[in-house]
Amino acid sequence: MDKKARIDFSNYPIIFDAPERLTDITSWHGHIPFAFFIVQALKPACFVELGTHRGDSYCAVCQAVDTLGIACRCHAVDRWKGDAQAGFYNDDVLDELKRYHDARYGPFSTLIQKSFDDAVMDFPDGSIDLLHVDGFHRYEVVKHDVMTWLPKMSARGVMLIHDTQVTEGDFGVWKLWEELSNGYETFEFIHSHGLGILRAGDDVTGDIQRLLESDNYYRRFIQHFFAALGENIVNRRQVQKLTTSVTTLQNMATVHRRMIESKDAIIEKLEREGNTTSEEQG
């Protein structure tokens, strides 16, 4: 691959932006810089995410769309009930996400509370430019999701599939990714549980095509480059978490100190009253 086919990442300053939403669901944080990159490189008119949970990955894409001023409709599809792999949860998760999302991204983004199979009927064939698949990760389930939504991809469609590096338990995305890599142009990030990039359309061009066509040496460079950017995001979340913990401990210490001061004041008052009583009796 010659130098002309390299990607000039200086054209993508957004990859260095700080994500505005980082929750305690950290598994996708390392891929947020790439999410910023692909939004600018692809400029999708329609983005769909299958499996949103607390919305860190989804809101990263929405943030990029908003920052770049791209005319893109975004759709998050989830039942917001959880599953056996991610754990089950109540309506508080969706309620909190709505409060955050609606005020910022409501004009161009929609949260769709449906199953993937029900929601697929809402999108015409060939209408989705960017699709992120991050639902239930058992092999037969994720294969069904990918194959069901594949006809919805546009001529310049790109599909992202998370957890390609997770092999324990009943996770089977890695197996499906091996199969897809034999039939499609793909690129894979190893960090943050793995993220596969798949060319789903015949008219993918520009820097995304350069990414998919990169040789092994350049692939390793890109992998390390985005892994390093992603590590900064992961570390940022750790700092936020530690800062919150320190603030909590400081608040607890303040309360504890005030309790001690209050107790000492009460003891001092009781001692004064006791001394006064003794003097009067004397």
pLDDT tens readout for residues 26-72? 999 999 999 999 999 999 999 999 999 999 999 999 999 999 999 99
What is the reported pTM? Answer: 0.84
pLDDT tens readout for residues 76-93? 999 999 777 767 778 999
Angle at which helices 139-149 and 173-181 pack, to 10 degrees?
A: 50
Percent of the chain with pLDDT over 70: 87
- Whether residue 81 contacts residue 88, with contact meaning beta carbons closer than 8 Å, is answered with yes
pLDDT for residue 236: 77
pLDDT for residue 271: 72
Residue-by-residue pLDDT tens, the chain, 282 positions: 445 579 999 999 999 999 999 999 999 999 999 999 999 999 999 999 999 999 999 999 999 999 999 999 999 999 999 777 767 778 999 999 999 999 999 999 999 999 999 999 999 999 999 999 999 999 999 999 999 999 999 999 999 999 999 999 999 999 999 999 999 999 999 999 999 999 999 999 999 999 999 999 999 999 999 999 999 999 976 666 555 555 555 666 666 677 777 777 777 777 777 666 666 665
String of DSSP letters for the chain: --GGGS--GGG-GGGGSPPS---S--TTGGGHHHHHHHHHHH--SEEEEE--TT-HHHHHHHHHHHHHT---EEEEEE-SSEETTTEE--THHHHHHHHHHHHHHTTTEEEEES-HHHHGGGS-TT-EEEEEE-S--SHHHHHHHHHHHGGGEEEEEEEEEE-TT--STT--HHHHHHHHHTTS-EEEE-STT-EEEEE-SS---HHHHHHHH--HHHHHHHHHHHHHHHHHHHHHHHHHHHHHHHHHHHHHHHHHHHHHHHHHHHHHHHHHHHHHHHHHH-
Name all domains of the chain by residue range, CATH numbers in brackets.
9-236 (3.40.50.150)
pLDDT for residue 269: 74
